[in-house]
Chain A
Amino acid sequence: MTVEGTAARSSATRRSGGTGKRASATRKKKTAQTAASTPAEPQLVQLLTPDGERVEHPDYAIDPTPEELRGLYRDMVLTRRFDAEATALQRQGELGLWASLLGQEAAQIGSARALNDEDYVFPTYREHGVAWCRGVDPTNLLGMFRGVNNGGWDPNSNNFHLYTIVIGSQTLHATGYAMGVMKDGADSAVIAYFGDGASSQGDVAEAFTFSAVYNAPVVFFCQNNQWAISEPAERQSRVPLYQRAAGYGFPGVRVDGNDVLACLAVTKAATERARSGQGPMLIEAFTYRMGAHTTSDDPTKYRRDEEREAWEAKDPILRLRRLLEKEKLADDTFLAAIEEESDALAKRVREAVRAMPDPDSMAIFENVYADGHALVDEERAQYAEYLASFATGPEHEGGSAAQEVK
């Protein structure tokens, strides 16, 4: 689904006043018509075309140094390499599941590099690139996918909250956190990541309401990757998602989510706006989930290869590389060094995952409560006793003693 396609569909739908069926038939036709065209519609903020050309935008300007451009490239390449390694580790049975960010590197790196250290991030479970920018050790992200913990990192170490699996819940946490930032008189911003599927959740709507009425310094960063598992974005909304902000009374903007410079520029503007007391803003990063929803998913059941191929032409890393090469900002030495660093990262991650120990049995009972709980204490003691009953010793030979213990 392209931007053009979405816009064409909604106007066609309005004309027909139509049923979903009719709208969808119309959409197919329009999509086929416009798939080949690349120029973005005016409402899509783009600063770097798929061909690696810099373009101007009246509202969002950015002038990154060569070093910054190389940094963004490095971030994206390393993130993609880490992501590929995690997918491989899942295939090898080292992880139970992996949610790949393939294709969304620009949206994540661009938005996350716009943040200050004091800003706070509330991610979904796919923000591996954001985590990378926040300085979270990539191996920390893998614990929950391996099944040794349910998160486990200290959110306050990097101002990066735990991954949230329940769709959209974290947008309210971000809003509440931002309300706290305001009460503290601090001038930092909070950013909530979510997706096109989450945009249908009541919690996201409530987060929009709360942030608007309290003027909370929160940026809602929606990565519209076109698919909520098997459901296309048009199953979530009849209007472009960014337009929803208008109904809540704050600005919304659609940005080319595969354009790292546009994501950086728009998120910078939104966070600066939030920090200066102007309240929330919605950014819809229009991107594409190049891979499956997770390693358990099979996209061949519900989407066409041609769609993916069309988006491959807009690859976020490729277009920045084209710019770097055109501007002679990246030579072979630089590119080789990044390749080497990528391989080293992958190796480190692979080794760390394989060495990751299973948690102790008694970890089940740890941290259920901060101040303790009598029932947890009782069950911990009972289970410890039960486990101890299996201890090898002359008195337990034959195993009958173990069976008697509940």
Chain B
Amino acid sequence: MTAASVESGLRGAAERDKLARARMLRGLLPALSLVLVLLAIAWLNPRAISYFGFSLMLNLAIPIALATIAQMFVIAGNELDLSIGTFVGFVGCVTATWLKDAPLIGVLILLGSIGVYALLGALIHLRNLPSIVVTLGMSFVWQGLAILVLPKPGGKAPDWLLSLMAFKPPLIPFPIIAALLIAAVVHFGLMRTSYGVILRGSGGNAAALERAGWSLLRTKIVLFALAGLFGVLSGMALIGITTSADANIGNGYTLLAIAGVILGGGEFVGGRVSPIGAVLGALTLALAASPLLTFMHIPPDWQVAANGAILIIVLAARVLISRRER
């Protein structure tokens, strides 16, 4: 063993150490930014830090978290879904009309729409189409269908859904329990099961997976179907809170969902995503964009710009930290 090799070995260990630290920091960042936003809210409006306050501030974060998880599945497979927002709106319209008046048909429509998502995955894989183009096109299809189902705002959520979303468990507010549940279930499914590894691998190294004998068509179909499933859950949760629907209700979710995934430690390519991070990211975005801004008393002319500025600051902090890994 020469001095040089010892030195390089040492340097390697130091590098590894630095990398591990940066990786840990990246893992902690979503939680850190959420804590930071919560502290700011607590300082601006102590009244909000209460059972009632959390129930109100976070209940609209649940549909955002679900839409973010949907987007996360698509991003895990190196694709991007620009239609998730209008899809959530479409599901909302079906929930407020068919699902209440004719539950069986409603369920069939929603299952069918998940099927459409799965088919989209197959189409994108088989024809090697860019997912951005396909899903952008689909966003207009979903929007059009939503207007067909509900030409004027209205409809009413089914009673069981209303009572579910208004559920008040003792001690811990419902939105927090729901967020924990979503994060735990998806984390287990995607990070801890063997097929979850295959799914992420299809985005990380597709060629290797294919050579090992796994069907990439199947992984893509499964990822898109999961996105559709969580999109449906998001739309239903949203209508359970708002009680009534509007064809444009979900349009803002497309970009929020993408930002939530990235804020939660995901990457656009390489199958690197984190379900827990995505849920935390969605909660952070929901809190930073609305309650924080409202509590800061920014003049109306600047509110719109401030909303965007907060988004950029939060995402920039995330990029700065992940750059240290390289």
Q: Do A and B bind each other?
A: no
A→B interface (CB under 8 Å): none
